[in-house]
Structure 1
Amino acid sequence: MILVRDILYKVTLEKVVGNTAVAIRDLHFDSRQVGLDDVFIAIRGTQSDGHEYIKTACDKGAIAIICEEIPKDVINGITYVQVSDSQQALAIMAANYYGNPSEDIKLVGVTGTNGKTTISSLLYNLFTEAGYEVGLLSTVKIMVGAKQYKATHTTPDSLTINKYLSEMVAAGVEFCFMEVSSHGIHQKRTEGLHFTGGIFTNLSHDHLDYHKDFKEYRDVKKTFFDQLPKTAFAIVNSDDKNGEVMLQNTKAKTYTYALKSHADYKAQILENQFTGLLLKINNHELWVRLIGNFNAYNLLAIYATADLLGLDTIEVLQLMSTLESVDGRFQYLISKEKITAIVDYAHTPDALKNVLETINSIRTGNESLITVVGCGGDRDKTKRPKMASIAASLSTKVIFTSDNPRSEDPDTIIEEMEAGVPAEHYKKTLSITDRKQAIKTACQMANAEDIILIAGKGHETYQEIKGERFDFDDFKTVSELLTALNK
């Protein structure tokens, strides 16, 4: 039996009205899910204010209300707890409710603009192959050992995180690797979690529709490292100038990784081909199946993390050589006509630049590079012209198309992208709103040895238009189109 007072442990309380020694059934921050003897946490969100639904929650049987402002008309028999920050309280209460599962598992958080999914997913794969029971909380999927669940957010809400961590502990999971987004940090979803380690990948232009400016975006990421305990490790990419910023106030043991600068974990790219990379990591040479400079950084972070978690160096190197790319991250196929099609999640200017520069560093120059790219609706508009400029500058041909337009007009999004194309590259560009038609046109334009990059959606198997999700898979689409053209 769990009491209200049990879940309030470590929560900063401002005022309590009623009895905290009452038994509770479940916690909810959505009033629609509240049932008899549940606790309702009123959250002030971007779309609505949970305080407006306190009476609804009470009518549905809530026995306790957690809020930032106690209603004027309190109901007898219901406990009201006032806190200064409901989101923070929810996170701590969720951890308490599920028995603080993060303390019984080695939880490692991965944050940064690019690379979070690849690093967390490949760490999951590597540790699984090493014989451990492993958990994963990522954009692509949630794994509890070998059991898979569908992911809905990069960093789930606090209740969902702790629910899965609790399930992991029950299943004997020893390590869990988790993507930590700036939204998740800002909305206090990771409060109350005990992290064994934190990884910083890089920082570039993203989510400025949510954060006021780049400084706020950076500082939010930094708070994750500020909150790491002294028993944890913090490992950062020192080739990114923001890496040093992340470590300024952390209590954790600090480590660095880099390709260019001096670091605790250093790598050198000896060969870079479409079939993989030949790397030297801390004087150990290995061949890996992943491609490009950005993956060299990802692999270096994986190596460092495995080392800091105590795995044997030789075993780690052997396992790294067998790792394959994550779905939608530089995922490629070569058609019978020897056309290479690459699908990548690159949806920020920096990520797109990295992928295009990687392709250009491998191609001989005789092949055409045809890029199909769009930008999401209801998201940071300032990156649209930048992404178009990068695509046009680094490709032979570019087709601007629809991504996930959401509530916006896809043609308007494309026009905002086109505005960023330098005059000297404008003739290279073409705009086709229908994404399937855009990919089909790219396939028809391509000749033997040419390369098609389809950027922006990666692993996603849907397209979101006017509030509806339609089935759409870039990799499946280009595979079918290239097969059909080869018949």
Structure 2
Amino acid sequence: MNRMVQLKEWTKVNQLVGKTEVSFSEISFDSRTVSGKSLFVAVRGVHVDGHTFIAKAIAAGCVAIVCEVLPEQGYRNVTFFVVNDSALALAQIASGFYGKPSEQLRLVGVTGTNGKTTIATMLYQLYSSMGFETGLFSTVANYIGPKKIAATHTTPDPIALNKIMRQMVDAGCEYCFMEVSSHAIDQKRVAGLTFAGGIFTNLTHDHLDYHKTFDAYLKAKKGFFDHLQKKSFALINIDDKNGMVMVQNCKAQIKTYSIRTMADYKAKIVESMFEGMQLLINDNEVWTPFIGKFNAQNLLAVYGTAVLLGQPQHEVLLGLSCLTSVDGRFQTLRSQTGVTAVVDYAHTPDALQNVIETINQIRQPGQDLLTVVGAGGDRDKTKRPEMARVAVMGSSRVILTSDNPRSEDPQTIVDEMMEGVEFKNRIKVVCIINRKEAIKTACMLAKRGDIILVAGKGHEDYQEINGVKHHFDDREIIKEIFEMTQERF
């Protein structure tokens, strides 16, 4: 299959060195996966520069190289395509190689700090329930119609993205909903895709270990909306102060949603309890099993997106009432002893505060909130003290523990979290590094009617320690302890 002509059509080539015709049957940006029919793209990554692996890729037999700078050593029988930006070229080439599948789908991207997984998954559930073959890219899992595929990244690399989308198209999918991370935008993983629309959820403190400054983080998110086409839509949460900033240079049709002020899509919480909440969405009543202001915003994003994609309002409202909770997102477990546990993925100060505020709006006098929370290792350290401060301010008791320490000492992480706790509040805090023991302690301290919040890991079924992932599921631990303690009362 000759790919040379198409390659020039897919991405701008500044210089061609080698054969005027070349064919390849696969693309790679990892020299370890190169074969005799590979096109190798030398991408400059965060930690590694693919240009240093050009020789290795050629030794493995690749037939062509895409790079920004030609190697000093000349190579025979290898074609070089010199481009300005190899990361951008990779995304564009991957899209073209797989037949531009995003153009054959109604692809909607969801970006923001919190809510991406919930919104994308709700949309997948909604459209599947309406009878549409639908695809999903999310932190929890990817789906091609009903077929589940394990997810390794919030947003996969361009080759994986386009390969899976090609499979979606071949399987008859009409729609695809995708989480779009700030890393993916910055690394141009989604640059070769055509989006029918984009959703902005919110922007709070996160990923500063990668972006370094909040302004850089904001610009990364904004870049997604800067590149939406005129025929697309941009659905923006204007309850977030950065909402309209996102679309300052956006060519797409701009629509807004809010639970606080006038917007194209507006909601009001009428009633809320642990079983769910009654909402008014654009003056229409709907019952949903989700609770909390943040979920009211998430549901509005889903409603607005479905309407913008052409679905009848009454069918969308009916579909919203049938949605189920996303794994590890405000997932409740009840003990026979009258204790409620909430497992949530909240791993940023804002997300944690939202969950705690939601619980506090529902819990009754005499009911205590015991929060178990940690912070991930090898990630943004500046949010650690803020996570602890938020937990302590909104909880009756707090147990600081290990999350995914990765290569860091979990005791050091907890010590850094404690820096956010005022001395007068330290009486409310206990530090238990072993996460299972921390959860067990919270369950033992809880009395009938109390609520336990276990935050940070949500759907994850592992704990990463010193580079090794050990099986660990907060929900399994809670169920196990609840079964052991059901005879206490």
Could you say which TM-score interval applies, normalised by the shorter chain?
over 0.9
Aligned position for 2:100: 100
2:170 maps to 1:193: no
Aligned position for 2:312: 312
2:171 maps to 1:171: yes
Aligned position for 1:360: 360
Give the alignment of 1:278-317 within 5 angstroms.
278-317=278-317
TM-score (norm 1): 0.99
2:259 maps to 1:256: no
Distance 2:19 2:197 in 1: 38
**Does the aligned pair in 2 maintain the 1:8–1:93 contact within 8 Å?**
no
Letter in 1 for 2:450: D
Aligned position for 1:3: 3
Aligned position for 1:91: 91
Letter in 2 for 1:295: N
Letter in 2 for 1:153: H
Deviation at 1:47, TM superposition (A): 2.1
Write the deviation string for residues 357-391 of structure 1: whole angstroms up to 9, x where unpaired: 00001111311100000000000000000000000
Deviation at 1:423, TM superposition (A): 2.1
Distance 1:301 1:213 in 2: 27
Give the alignment of 1:208-227 within 5 angstroms.
208-227=208-227
Write the deviation string for residues 162-221 of structure 1: whole angstroms up to 9, x where unpaired: 001100000010000000000000000000100000000000000000002111101110
Write the deviation string for residues 87-120 of structure 1: whole angstroms up to 9, x where unpaired: 1110000001000000000000000000000000
**Does the aligned pair in 1 maintain the 2:373–2:401 contact within 8 Å?**
yes
Aligned position for 2:403: 403
**Does the aligned pair in 2 maintain the 1:266–1:282 contact within 8 Å?**
yes
Distance 2:471 2:96 in 1: 39
Instruction: Return 5-14 or 472-481, whichever deviates more.
Output: 5-14
Aligned position for 1:444: 444
Structure 2 residue ranges without an equivalent (≥5): none
2:181 maps to 1:181: yes
Equivalent position SS for 2:37: coil
Give the alignment of 1:127-146 within 5 angstroms.
127-146=127-146
Distance 1:365 1:411 in 2: 34
Write the deviation string for residues 21-66 of structure 1: whole angstroms up to 9, x where unpaired: 2111210000000000211111111221111111111011100011
Deviation at 1:20, TM superposition (A): 4.4
Distance 1:45 1:216 in 2: 17
Letter in 2 for 1:186: D
Equivalent position SS for 1:359: helix
Letter in 2 for 1:53: F
Distance 1:477 1:396 in 2: 22
**Does the aligned pair in 1 maintain the 2:29–2:40 contact within 8 Å?**
yes
Write the deviation string for residues 404-452 of structure 1: whole angstroms up to 9, x where unpaired: 0000000000000001102221100000000001000111111110000
2:273 maps to 1:268: no
2:43 maps to 1:28: no
Equivalent position SS for 1:13: coil
Aligned position for 1:384: 384
Deviation at 1:322, TM superposition (A): 1.1
Instruction: Return 468-477 or 45-54, whichever deviates more.
Output: 45-54
**Does the aligned pair in 1 maintain the 2:2–2:21 contact within 8 Å?**
no
Distance 1:285 1:181 in 2: 33
Distance 1:9 1:428 in 2: 63
Inter-CA distance 20–233: structure 2 relative to 1 (3 Å threshold): farther
**Does the aligned pair in 2 maintain the 1:406–1:464 contact within 8 Å?**
yes
Aligned position for 1:434: 434
Distance 2:7 2:430 in 1: 57
Aligned position for 2:228: 228
Instruction: Return 380-389 or 318-327, whichever deviates more.
Output: 318-327
Alignment coverage as a number of residue pairs? 487
**Does the aligned pair in 1 maintain the 2:277–2:291 contact within 8 Å?**
yes
Aligned position for 2:156: 156
Distance 1:480 1:203 in 2: 36
Distance 1:422 1:306 in 2: 46
Distance 1:233 1:352 in 2: 30
Equivalent position SS for 1:9: helix
Structure 1 residue ranges without an equivalent (≥5): none
TM-score (norm 2): 0.99
Measured on the aligned residues, the alpha-carbon RMSD in Å equals: 0.8
Distance 1:414 1:55 in 2: 45
**Does the aligned pair in 1 maintain the 2:267–2:279 contact within 8 Å?**
yes
Inter-CA distance 104–20: structure 2 relative to 1 (3 Å threshold): farther
Distance 2:188 2:9 in 1: 17
Equivalent position SS for 2:210: coil
Equivalent position SS for 1:399: strand
**Does the aligned pair in 2 maintain the 1:65–1:81 contact within 8 Å?**
yes
Aligned position for 1:110: 110
Aligned position for 2:325: 325
Distance 2:242 2:390 in 1: 23
